[in-house]
Homo-oligomer: A and B are copies of this chain.
Amino acid sequence: MSLIVQKYGGSSVADAESIKRVAKRIVETRKAGNDVVVAVSAMGDTTDELLDLAHAVTPIPAPRELDMLLSAGERISMALLAMAIKSLGHEARSFTGSQAGMITDARHGSARIVDVTPVRLREALDEGAIVIVAGFQGFNRDTKDITTLGRGGSDTTAVALAAALDADICEIYTDVDGIFTADPRVVPRAKKIDRITSEEMLELAANGAKVLYIRAVEYARRHGVTLHVRSSFNNNEGTIVYNPTTESENVVEEPLIAGVATDLGEAKITVVGVPDIPGKAAQIFNLVAKTGANIDMIVQNVSAAATGLTDISFTLPKTDGQTVLTALRADQSEVGFLGLQYDDQIGKLALVGAGMRTNAGVSARLFTALFEAGINIEMISTSEIRISVVTRADTINDALRVVHTAFGLDGDTEAVVHGGTGR
């Protein structure tokens, strides 16, 4: 008997009908002879509605109470899902994050999992029950308080349960068919990827692919959990995200490029006229780090010899833009730069593939394709298995299409888009 962990997102359980549909799918998995553990998100827009309520009460909700509030969302969806399964004649039991043994640190709103002690889940499984667990939430042992895991929390819950229960696979159900070589809404000939390494998936997720959260992929990679990303609206085979070191995979046959991701959520800050002396970059990025902002790409231009000044540009989520600008302005005289530029009309494109490691021509082919399409490259950043470029935001979709074609990723048929954003 296999143990399968399944995760259903908010769009898969948005209303009573959806919950009944998901219940049937879970029962089918059970009938096929598997033990089943399900991590479920709050229904549809519940979390946003609860956040709106909190902000109607106070502009800055207390973090402990906000977590208590938000955790009500999964409590509703998990109880309804368990009821729906029971009404189909199968035993089911729902568990909150704390009942499931999801132990976290005390960082309210973005808690990290420190331990998983699924004693009650094992008992329920041993008694033949289907187990439903609230995604997104945990419990801190010291404060005895409820915590939430932040963005992508339910994916992380599912992966952590799969690791702790030594599940055979962790199925992430969503409203798209799997991971694609590019966003099918922009590139109609994007192909569904059958198998992708967790390393490649990590780069795609970090560079704007929305289907899986980077944190869940990291957790899966670290704990050797195999993911299966698939649609809850059909029975198509989705995408397997695997860890080659644990599967003695024949890495030689990996395709050159796994996929291309784009991201319009970032902005660029340029610190103009920084004295070109040692320690200035460190000073600037220490200031930025204190704001808690996540810096992505960093580019420093060659110093102009005549002035002894240089420019430093970096990208970061637009949501962090104002905070970082304020922090930098506050210490402008101390750091000694001339000014700041803020540009939120940028787009980022990332080409990801483990095969890139052994192939020198990838950058050349990428830059050529963009040049021939008349698209200007503003920043470049690379890792072993990724090349990212920044362009104007309004050219990013054209860039995606030409790059997708240039690397031979176009499929023979157009992908079927089920709508939604991939969450």
- Candidates B69, B84, B94; contact of A57 at CB < 8 Å: B84
Interface-facing stretch out of A74-82, A162-170, A293-301, A372-380: A74-82
CB contacts (< 8 Å) of A58 on chain B: these are 83-84, 86-87
CB of A273 to closest CB in B, whole Å:
43
A99 interface residue, CB < 8 Å from B? yes
CB contacts (< 8 Å) of A64 on chain B: these are 93
- Candidates B62, B86, B94; contact of A68 at CB < 8 Å: B94
Check B65–A86 contact: CB distance below 8 A.
yes
Q: Which residues of A line the B interface, CB within 8 A?
A: 15-16, 19-20, 50, 53-54, 56-62, 64-66, 68-69, 71-73, 75-76, 78-80, 82-84, 86-87, 92-94, 96, 99, 120, 144
CB of A141 to closest CB in B, whole Å:
14
- Please, how many angstroms separate the alpha-carbon atoms of A92 and B57 in the complex? 14
Check B16–A87 contact: CB distance below 8 A.
no
CB contacts (< 8 Å) of A96 on chain B: these are 68
Which residue of chain B is the closest to A67 with respect to CB atoms? B79
CB of A50 to closest CB in B, whole Å:
7
Which residue of chain B is the closest to A91 with respect to CB atoms? B62
Which residue of chain B is the closest to A87 with respect to CB atoms? B58
Check A53–B69 contact: CB distance below 8 A.
no
Check B87–A60 contact: CB distance below 8 A.
yes
CB contacts (< 8 Å) of A80 on chain B: these are 53-54, 57, 65, 69
Given contacts A16-B57, A99-B144, A120-B144, contact A66 B83 (CB under 8 A): yes
CB contacts (< 8 Å) of A86 on chain B: these are 58, 62, 65
